[in-house]
Amino acid sequence: MNTNDIWLIAGLGNPEPKYDGTRHNAGFAALDYLAGKWGISVSKTKFQGLWGQGEVDGHKVVLLKPLTYMNLSGDSIGPLAGFFKIPADHVIVLCDDITQDPGKLRIRPSGSAGGHNGLKSIIARLGGENFPRIRIGVGAKPRPDYDLADWVLGRFPPDDAKALADRCPDIAAAAKLIMDGKLGLAQSKYNG
């Protein structure tokens, strides 16, 4: 294993139990899946988050669930990345995306926050947009006048929850491809 090959995968969400199963917690749900699949206990408390570390196919991996609430996700991710000396391009963020249908994935090597306050916070704390992200579709608001906060803090109906759960193996596979330096392949195979 290359000792410099360390990755941080952060799943975004809100920490209180009342937010479990909400659209905004799609990142937490995906991270929980990765932790289970890869046998990494995400139970240490530091850096304003729950985290754990392990090895995945020769890559040293730190999994993180920021407990700062969505809009301040960078306040957890920035210090943890700094502590482990993880460069921004080795920080993979899993987050919800209201522009994609439930369960659809949008994998990008970098980019703007696109109106997502969690990504905006991470960009500010990492000092740029150069970090890969796997955006997880949660569906668009049903009407333009529907309150966005009410939508993202609402729970998934059963069909949408199943669509998200069904994509978790693809999220894990895409994250491994990104760590292997094959982000383009992850995009062509799993976007959409």
Residues annotated as part of the active site: 24
Token duo for residue 93: 């963020």
Which of 72, 70, 27 has its CA nearest to residue 175? 27
Which of 118, 124, 38, 44 has its CA nearest to residue 88? 124
Distance, in Å, from the CA atom of 25 to the CA atom of 33, rounded to the nearest integer, reads 13
Residues pairing with 54 in the sheet: 61
Distance, in Å, from the CA atom of 117 to the CA atom of 70, rounded to the nearest integer, reads 7
The β-bridge relationship of strands 105-108 and 133-137 is antiparallel
**Rg, C-alpha atoms of the chain:** 15
Distance, in Å, from the CA atom of 101 to the CA atom of 142, rounded to the nearest integer, reads 12
Report whether 117 belongs to an annotated binding site.
Answer: yes
Report whether 33 belongs to an annotated binding site.
Answer: no
Report whether 69 belongs to an annotated binding site.
Answer: yes
111 phi-psi bin (left φ>0, alpha ψ -120 to 50, beta other): left
Report whether 130 belongs to an annotated binding site.
Answer: no
Please give the annotated binding residues for tRNA, written as ranges.
19, 69, 71, 117
Question: Which residues are part of a known binding site?
Answer: 19, 69, 71, 117
